[in-house]
Amino acid sequence: MVPVATSGSAKEFAIDFVARNERAFITLNDSIFYFGELGVQETRTAGLMTSLLEQHGFHVQKGISGFATSFLATYGKGEPVIAIHTEYDANPSNSQKSGVTERAEIVAGAPGHCEGHNTNAAVMVASALAIRYAMEKFDLPGTLKIFGASAEEQLLSRPYFVRDGLFDDVDLAFHDHILDEFGTDYGMMQSAAVSAEFTFRGEAAHAAVAPWKGRDALDAVVLMDMGLAQHREHMKPTMTAHRVITKGGEQPNVIPAIAACWWYFRDPTAEGARLLFERAQQIAQGAALMANCELSVDVRAAVWPVRLNQTIAEVIQRNVEAVGMPVWTETEQDFARALQRQAKVAEMGLRPAVTSFKGPAVQIAASNDCGDVSWKVPMGRIWFPGNVPYLPFHHWSAGAALATSIAHKGGLAGAKALSGAVIDYLQDRDLVAQTKRSFKQEIGDTVYAPLLPSGQRAPADLNRALMEKFRPEMEAHYLRLEPVFTL
Ligand SMILES: [Zn+2]
């Protein structure tokens, strides 16, 4: 383990700043919870985050890499350059009242937070302000870069940031994410993925009267499906492919002129995901040829697997242990157990202690769009204990604690430990150098090149219709409070 000071005046100041601003933290967390905005449409969320960062002296660039609701907020100058990034999008159909232990929608059918990205955002902003004031007060040289990463649930924005050079001058990066644990990880965590829509275009005709005049685009979708089903036998066991049909025609007596399917291709390695996607494109071309249709392929997202640096993990762990697990009340434990009962998982309540340092992590088949960052620069991830153990993310139960004292206390603890870890790096150039050396060793001879096509543009309209449909009703539930952070 790397020796890291767990106390020190700049760090104590930052931790105290977070504690003193508990009320503002709660207001920010709960405001974003009630915004419940879907990816690429997080206008209120990003607006609130950037206005706070601007008010407190950050230089803010909005709309980075073509994502209207992404941003880069910078404070300070010179080296080291330390980034913090996180996501703040909700999920469709996940509207859930907070503080109740049964399924109860805030707005029927509306999107909502059911994982805790609202708390991710509050932790990042609170930490950014705490670190920034510590930098000013204690004359710490360095640059703090806060990345607002929209649309994680669609694996979208961060590969664009990396491709567009926004991490070129960054020395190391932190990602904060909610969990039911207080701790960190290192090693390979999540898988590479390519998400792509295949659209086939043919010609419509009356299906009964003159089918010979039609070219059936749905046939091409079905044939591609069959082709991939045959190909599964020849895929490496680590590869996975799953799909939905997004357009399949309107009614049976009209031969569909347009049909489309949306696929995810994954592998533990970026190269594996790339190869599988390449094979799928050949199969799609074959299907188009058989059905006499034209094919277009739109890559919606392409991400590298997440790899976490061991040195940063050690620094995070020391800071997590110094802050310690929040002390949960009996009421909070009862609430957690009631939720666990509802979700039919073990009724263990909330975890009493921080998670001990272990690793390397076991790589899972899910993905996160911050993978590209983690191959560009050394990256660490802090897990903060803002949700209830074992609740499945994206299930209503995982939304029920997100504007309660569980999310608040877990998030505040996370912001303190994250601030502490960043300040360790601002105060110790050797630690930065050591982290970069360990990163080099970890990635070995792997050369990072984006999986994302070079000309790929951010999808501005994603989720727009859904958000426009529900926003008016959701607005009635917005908090009527402003988060006010003070020195
Ligand atoms: Zn998440």
**What local confidence, expressed as pLDDT, does residue 147 receive?**
98
Q: Is the same domain home to 79 and 131?
A: yes
- Ligand 1 centroid to residue 379 C-alpha, Å: 16
Could you tell me if residue 54 is inside a domain?
Answer: yes
Cα of 338 vs centre of ligand 1, distance in Å, is 23
Question: Is residue 120 a part of any domain in this protein?
Answer: yes
Distance in Å, CA 114 to ligand 1 centroid: 9
Both 282 and 312 in a single domain? Answer: no
Could you tell me the CATH number of the domain that includes residue 269? 3.30.70.360
- Asked whether residue 238 falls in the same domain as residue 320, the answer is no
Each residue's pLDDT tens digit, 335-394? 999 999 999 999 999 999 999 999 999 999 989 999 999 999 999 999 999 999 999 999
Mean pLDDT of 69-86: 98
- How many distinct structural domains can be found in the chain? 2
Q: Which of 416, 324, 329, 323 is nearest to 20 (CA)?
A: 416
Residues 333 and 254 in one domain: no
> Where is the domain boundary, 303, 326, 358?
303
pLDDT averaged over the chain? Answer: 96
| Ligand 1 centroid – CA 473 distance (Å) | 25
Q: How far is the CA of 122 from the centre of ligand 1 (A)?
A: 14
DSSP symbol at 363 = P
Contact 416, 172 (CB under 8 A): no
Burial 402-427 (b: 16+ CB within 10 A, else e): bbbbbbbbbbbbbbbbbbbbbbbbbb
For residue 1, being part of any structural domain is answered with no
Percent residues over pLDDT 90 in the chain: 97
Asked if 470 and 386 sit in the same domain, the reply is: yes
Distance between CA atoms of residues 401 and 384, nearest Å: 14
Residue 343: inside a domain, yes or no?
yes
Give the HSE-up count for residue 376: Cα atoms under 13 Å, Cβ half-sphere. 27
- pLDDT tens figures, 13-72: 999 999 999 999 999 999 999 999 999 999 999 999 999 999 999 999 999 999 999 999
Contact 187, 75 (CB under 8 A): no
Does residue 63 share a domain with residue 87?
Answer: yes
Q: Is the pLDDT of residue 92 over 80?
A: yes
Burial (0-12, 13-18, 19+ Cβ within 10 Å), 319: buried
Examine the domain organization and report whether 138 and 267 are in the same domain: no
Which amino acid is present at 3?
A: P
Cα–Cα dist 275/266, whole Å? 10
246 vs 198: CA distance, rounded Å: 9
pLDDT 10s digits, 439-482: 999 999 999 999 999 999 999 999 999 999 999 999 999 999 99
pLDDT surpasses 80 at 275: yes
Distance 10 CA to ligand 1 centre (A): 30
**H/E element holding 322?**
helix 310-323
> Of 324, 86, 295, 110, which is closest to residue 200 (Cα–Cα)?
295
Q: Establish if 156 belongs to a structural domain.
A: yes
Cα 213 to middle of ligand 1, angstroms: 48
Ligand 1 centre to CA of 118 (Å) is: 10
State which residues form the domain around 201: 194-303
CA 354 to centroid of ligand 1, rounded, Å: 20
Ligand 1 mean position, distance from CA 57 (Å): 28
CA distance 345 to 180: 14
Query: What pLDDT is stored for residue 448 in this prediction?
Result: 95
One domain for residues 171 and 320: yes
The answer, yes or no, to whether residue 8 has pLDDT greater than 80, is no
Using a 10 angstrom Cβ sphere, with 0-12 exposed, 13-18 middle and 19 or more buried, the burial of residue 59 is: exposed
CATH of the domain at 38: 3.40.630.10
Q: Give the C-alpha separation, 308 to 189, whole Å.
A: 7
Output the pLDDT for position 6. Answer: 45
CA of 115 to the centre of ligand 1 (A): 6
Q: Judge if 309 and 455 occupy the same domain.
A: yes
* Confidence at residue 2, expressed as pLDDT on a 0 to 100 scale: 47
Distance 12 CA to ligand 1 centre (A): 29
User: Does some domain include residue 332?
Assistant: yes
Q: Are residues 470 and 346 in the same domain?
A: yes
Which of these three, 276, 303, 330, is where a domain ends?
303
Last residue of a domain, one of 255, 273, 303: 303
- Claim to verify: residue 170 and residue 257 sit in the same structural domain: no
Q: 95 with 147: CB under 8 angstroms?
A: no
What are φ and ψ of residue 115, in 5° steps?
A: -150, -50
Q: How far is CA 377 from CA 164, 306, 309, in A?
A: 14, 12, 9
Which tens digit of pLDDT belongs to each residue from 159-206?
999 999 999 999 999 999 999 999 999 999 999 999 999 999 999 999
CA 121, 125, 128, 132: dihedral to nearest 10 degrees?
170
CA dist., res. 439 & res. 443, Å (int): 6
* Distance from the alpha carbon of residue 178 to the mean position of ligand 1, in angstroms: 7
82 alpha carbon – ligand 1 mean position (Å): 21
Do 131 and 87 sit in the same domain of this protein?
A: yes
Q: Does some domain include residue 485?
A: no
* The two structure tokens encoding residue 161: 């940031």
Cβ atoms of 349 and 335 within 8 Å: the answer is: no
Is residue 473 a part of any domain in this protein? yes
Whole-number Å distance, alpha carbon 176 to ligand 1 midpoint, is 10
Nearest to 451 by CA among 366, 362, 363, 371: 371
Return left, alpha or beta for 51; rule: phi > 0 is left, psi -120 to 50 is alpha, else beta.
alpha
**Is the per-residue pLDDT at 7 higher than 60?**
no
- Note whether 161 and 149 are within 8 A (CB): yes
